[in-house]
Each structure stands twice: as structure tokens, then as C-alpha cells.
Amino acid sequence: MFPTRSPTRAAQQVETALSPTPQPIPTRPVVSPTPDPTRPAQAEPYRESHLVQYGESLGAIAESYNTTIEELMALNDLASPDNLQAGQTLLVPAGELPVGPAEKIIPDSELVYGPAFSHFDVTAVVNNWGGYLAGYMENVEGAERTGPEIVQLVAQRFSVGPRLLLALLEHESGWVTETSPLEETLLYPMGKVEQDWDGLFIQLSWTANQLNRGYYGWESGWLQRVSLVDGTLVQLAPGLNAGTVAVQAFLAMPNSFPVWQAQVARDGSLMAIYRAFFGDPFQYAIEPLIPPDLVQPVMALPWEEGETWHFTGAPHGGWGSNSGWAALDFAPGGEQLGCNPSPDWVRAICAGRVVRSENGEVVVDLDDDGYEGTGWSVLYMHIEGDGRVPAGAWVEAGEKIGHPSCEGGFSNGTHLHLARRYNGRWIEADGPVPFVMDGWIPQSYGSAYDGILTKGEEIREACECHDLEFNGIRAGQ
């Protein structure tokens, strides 16, 4: 449930409420927002349905919707205007969608946890403002974490920029600057009021997942409209960038059209907070975030030569359901293990430095600069703690990462979840730079987890069948 809410006190009084000195701004030249390739149709016709009642004629229906019999026949592939039946559903024209704001408000590199955050210190920024977030504590996955640590963890896992997360948190609840935010925000600081969704960690995780939905949905072309709180559909303006769309889509959910327009404008309530905290977001722009000639390094299958594993998950979210379809899943061969750790070893698919190793996650940085948001990085997920490679270690291709298990994230069976990022952006497994390992190329069937791997004339379909003859893949062949 997303209740309609007014802007927080911080958003309403941002110029006076935010008095400490904001973080220094980099001295590199400001990058002006540049047009992206435009999408078709600024105002797009859309359709509604009409349930035919007993005795209705096509002419009467056409008149009530200010259209013609011929248009209704074309829309519904009707051979005759007299062939209607009660209970039949017809498509009818319903005007044109309103178009959302066309202003870019953040570059893509501010949405993605990439090069622009290599020296960003969440704790220092939060402590500088001294609000409720600075003293917040929450038990996350069995460990006590501070508010800034939770923001950092969510930013890393979902690969979403922490400056944006902090600005949105302030916008929705005032937690960054207010020592005593409104009581209604204490359980649900991002406004998602639902049972079992209380606490900063789950609220920010939901926020990051929704932001990724907007970013990758726009990039892939399937997200072109947003729905406001009253159900109104709005056409996203052509020429926007994915980072701006992510913010627009997130703020559309709880708002009416005029409030939404005011919040997502370049001089609106959200960007006023952003500038007060960090200055002009385009001063941090990294463009292009993904070079047009990007090539994946050579990568091997993540198990030892001669072993056979199952292919269990075609392209799906890298972290959460919406972070690009960057991941593939594999399970060790042999008997189905349930959620018992496997004695088999996950092996490094390429060389790199381990920059994170905790809670089932192992993140390997391929350019060895100590930061996962620049260049290529690989996520190995559901790696058991016992035997897991430690942070700081260098691994060569083929060296041990750890044992597959159910540890970390969501898993209902022992397996390995593998995903790639470049400059912090999740790279789709079957996109322009496919996730190729030992010559196996992934292909999605159009829904998450559903698809195949191909190598020459060989095909393996993703499934949980544990039939080695059907979907087993042997390394080294």
C-alpha cells in the first residue's frame, strides 16, 4: 500500500532546514544534460475495454466513446458490425495519455553505484547533518548496523547511488536532517506501509529495487508509462535518460499528477534537497557510463574441468527482481541437495581481487583498483561461509571461491547465482555484451529464469529437473 502523502517538512522548508555546509563538489567541468534517443509519440493513444450489454449496438457504443463504427471494427478485428454478443469485451479508444516532465534531473551515473562514488563517504555525510539517521541502529541479517552502514549496504547490493538514496530518504521522511522526524515515518521511512516491510533496511531495499525497475525498464524499452496513485497513466517524455526515468517512476507511485510534476522537476522538492546536500548532480556525471565498444573479458565456467553442473536459471535480476537480467544460475551435479551446502567448489570464472566476502556474497573486482564500481566486477552469490575466499584475496581463473549453498539473499535450493557489472551497471546476460563462459551463450525466452544456453549446435534449457542428460554442462569441453 502506498498512501498519498504530502512532502515532508524537510522537503517543504528545504532552503532553511538544510543549514550545514554541503559536501565539497568536484572541480571537474559541469556536464550539461544531453538528449538521449527519443521514444516515439509524445502523446500516445491508449485503449480501454467495454463489456457489451444485452441489446447494445456497435453504433451506440461508438457514439458513447466519441468514435466510429469503422474504428471499433478495426480495433477488434470484427468482420460485421452486427455480430455482437452480450458479455463480449471490446477495445475502445480512450483519448491520449498525458505526457510527463521532459527535464533530465540526474545523470545515469548518479543512479548507478559506479565510478562517481569511488570516494563517497556515506557516514561522513550523514554525521555532518546529524539527523535521526546518524544515530539509527537496526539488526540486519544477524548483525547490528548503523543507519549509514545500511545505506552503504543497499547501495552496494543493488548498485544504486547512495547520494540518491539519501536525498530520497530525506524527501520522504526527513531522516537525514531532522533529529525527531514525524512518528509515522519511524517504521516506514520510504512510505511503503505494509506488514513485514518495516525498518530502514527493507524500506531502502524496496526503494533501490524500484529505482532499478525504472532504470533498466527504460533502457530495455518495456517501461514507457507510469501509473499515478489514482490509476492515471502517464506517458514518459521522449529524450529522457534512464536515471531520470528511475526517479520519475519511483515518485509516481504515491502521488497525483500535479504533486508528481512538482517533485520531479529540476527545481522541484527532491532536487532542492539533492542540491542542498551535494550540489548539481551533473557535476558528478560520467558519460558515457558504458562505452559503445565494451567487450567482456574471457570467462570460464565456474566449476572444475571435467565436472558437470545443472543450468537452473536463465537471465534474471542481478540483485532483486529489477536490476537488469544480469544473472545466471547453476547447481552442482549429483543428487538434489535442498538447502544443504554442496561439497563441490565454485571456481573463479576470471582473475581478480575479492573486494567483498560476506553473507553469501563474493564480489570480485577485475581491474584490481579496490572498488567494485569501476570496470568489470563479478558477483558470486549463495557461497557458504565455511571455505569462502576472504576479502582482499587475489584469485586466478579456476581458483576456489567457495561452496554453493542457500546462504544470503533468497534461495530455496543450493545453487550458484552469477552476475556481471561494468562501472556499476548490471550487464544483461543476453544483451549486446552476452555473458559467455567457455563458449556457452545465454538466451532468454522473455521471462525471468526461462531460457537456454547454446554452444554451437548444443542447447541446454534452464530447469530444476536435475537431469544431466537434459541440462547438464561439463566444463572443459
Beta-strand runs (E) in 114-255: 137-140, 143-146, 225-227, 233-235
CA nearest to 67, candidates 89, 48, 88, 92:
92
Report the C-alpha gap between 171 and 191 in whole angstroms: 11
SS3 277: helix
The per-residue pLDDT for 22 is 43
Beta-strand runs (E) in 294-415: 308-316, 327-331, 346-347, 352-358, 361-365, 376-381, 394-395, 400-402
Report the C-alpha gap between 451 and 469 in whole angstroms: 17
The per-residue pLDDT for 15 is 46
Structural contact between residues 402 and 383, judged by C-beta atoms closer than 8 angstroms: yes
Report the C-alpha gap between 234 and 224 in whole angstroms: 9
The tens digit of pLDDT for each residue in 437-459 reads 999 999 999 889 999 999 999 99
Within this chain, domains 45-96 and 308-474 share the same CATH topology: no
Whether the per-residue pLDDT at 70 is higher than 50: the answer is yes
pTM: predicted TM-score of the whole model, two decimal places:
0.85
Supply the DSSP string of 6-23, one letter for each residue.
PPPHHHHTHHHH--SPPP
Cα dist from 160 to 30, 316, 423, 433, whole Å: 22, 18, 12, 21
The per-residue pLDDT for 471 is 72
- Range in 10-19, 57-66, 281-290, 455-464 the model is least confident about: 10-19
The tens digit of pLDDT for each residue in 146-188 reads 999 999 999 999 999 999 999 999 999 999 999 999 999 999 9
CA nearest to 76, candidates 104, 45, 48, 98:
48
The per-residue pLDDT for 477 is 56
Which residue matches cell numbers 550487464?
427
The tens digit of pLDDT for each residue in 217-232 reads 999 988 988 989 988 8
Per the structure block, which three cell numbers stand in for 25? 563538489
Per the structure block, which three cell numbers stand in for 129? 547533518
Beta-strand runs (E) in 39-142: 45-51, 89-96, 137-140
CA angle in degrees (0–180, nearest 5) for 102-107-109 = 155
The per-residue pLDDT for 21 is 45
The mean predicted confidence, pLDDT, of the chain is 89
Report the C-alpha gap between 351 and 325 in whole angstroms: 23
Report the C-alpha gap between 413 and 104 in whole angstroms: 43
Q: How confident is the model at residue 191 (pLDDT cuts 50, 70, 90)?
A: very high
The per-residue pLDDT for 474 is 77
Which residue matches cell numbers 549509514?
148
Structural contact between residues 175 and 133, judged by C-beta atoms closer than 8 angstroms: yes
The per-residue pLDDT for 337 is 63
The per-residue pLDDT for 18 is 53
- Range in 99-108, 329-338, 381-390 the model is least confident about: 329-338
SS3 262: helix
Structural contact between residues 173 and 183, judged by C-beta atoms closer than 8 angstroms: no
Q: What would be the CATH architecture of the domain defined by 308-474? A: Distorted Sandwich (2.70)
Report the C-alpha gap between 477 and 473 in whole angstroms: 9
The per-residue pLDDT for 40 is 45
Report the C-alpha gap between 421 and 113 in whole angstroms: 10
| φ and ψ of 176, to 5 deg | -75, -40
Per the structure block, which three cell numbers stand in for 201? 533496511
Give 114's DSSP letter.
Answer: S
The per-residue pLDDT for 468 is 63
Average of per-residue pLDDT across 291-312:
96
Pairing of strands 416-422, 425-426: antiparallel
Structural contact between residues 410 and 401, judged by C-beta atoms closer than 8 angstroms: no
Average of per-residue pLDDT across 240-254:
97
Average of per-residue pLDDT across 265-279:
96
Rounded to 10 deg, the angle between the 122-129 and 162-173 helix axes is 30
With a CB cutoff of 8 Å and minimum separation 6, the contacts of 186 are none
Counting every residue, how long is the chain?
A: 477
Q: Which amino acid is at 333?
A: G
The tens digit of pLDDT for each residue in 401-451 reads 999 999 997 778 899 999 999 999 999 999 999 999 999 999 999 889 999
The per-residue pLDDT for 240 is 97
CA nearest to 345, candidates 330, 366, 359, 365:
330
45-96 carries CATH number 3.10.350.10: yes
Average of per-residue pLDDT across 305-319:
95
Q: How confident is the model at residue 34 (pLDDT cuts 50, 70, 90)?
A: low
Report the C-alpha gap between 438 and 459 in whole angstroms: 14
SS3 218: helix
**Cα torsion at 212, 213, 217, 219 (round to 10°)?**
-10
Structural contact between residues 290 and 421, judged by C-beta atoms closer than 8 angstroms: no
Q: Where are the domains of the chain?
A: 9-24+33-37+101-284, 45-96, 308-474
Report the C-alpha gap between 115 and 113 in whole angstroms: 7
Q: Which amino acid is at 130?
A: G
**Alpha-helix runs per DSSP H in 66-146:** 69-76, 108-111, 122-129
